[in-house]
């Protein structure tokens, strides 16, 4: 019986592999599982990175599609410390038929502009017209973008 057990031990591939310092079938299975787990982890990391890149690209594409106000003098209908408040003003103005634009200031405020003009006179006229609207806030003002280009 002992001879049979010894013969089985000596005749197995794992016995000879271990004698030669090679990985056994258990070692090979463990290495296969580790490689499979690493491949899955790499796939998840790559998928997350791709999703982030896609999200950024989508946001940039959406921003590029928004019409930008062009001009020197912006008619601003509100300045907000909380971005959610600025977004609500943008929604209100959009419903009223305007194409508002948010101007982000370094001090953390977001100003919502309803229009932009090349001349102060045209901006002033627009501001005066805005005061006649039912939804117009009391703090409408004109922002000269040229005054802050050096910042």
pLDDT of residue 76: 94
78 and 141 belong to one structural domain:
yes
Percent of the chain past pLDDT 90, that is, above it, reads 34
49 and 87 belong to one structural domain:
no
What CATH number is attached to the domain comprising 91? 3.30.70.1070
- Domain-embedded: residue 139: yes
- Strand order across the beta sheet in which 101-104 lies: 101-104, 110-117, 73-80, 141-144
- Domain-embedded: residue 21: yes
- Domain-embedded: residue 6: no
135 and 89 belong to one structural domain:
yes
- Domain-embedded: residue 106: yes
pLDDT bracket for residue 151 (50, 70, 90): very low
pLDDT of residue 150: 42
The average pLDDT across 71-76 equals 92
Backbone φ and ψ for 21, nearest 5 degrees, come out as: 80, 15
Average pLDDT of the residues of the chain? 82
pLDDT at 28 over 80: yes
Range of the domain at 17: 13-64
Specify the number of domains making up the chain.
Answer: 2
């Amino acid at each position: 019986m002992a001879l049979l057990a010894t013969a089985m031990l000596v005749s197995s591939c794992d016995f000879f592999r271990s004698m030669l310092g090679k990985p056994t079938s258990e070692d090979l299975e463990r290495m296969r599982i580790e490689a499979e787990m690493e491949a899955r982890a790499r796939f998840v990391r790559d998928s997350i990175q791709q999703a982030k890149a896609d999200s950024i690209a989508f946001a940039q594409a959406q921003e590029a599609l928004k019409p930008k106000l062009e001009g020197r003098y912006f008619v601003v209908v509100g300045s907000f410390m909380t971005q959610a408040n600025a977004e609500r003003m943008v929604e209100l103005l959009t419903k009223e038929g305007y194409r508002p634009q948010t101007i982000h200031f370094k001090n953390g405020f977001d100003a919502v502009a309803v229009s932009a003009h090349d001349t102060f006179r045209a901006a002033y006229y627009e501001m005066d017209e805005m005061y006649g609207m039912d939804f117009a806030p009391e703090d409408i003002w004109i922002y000269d973008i040229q005054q802050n280009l050096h910042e």
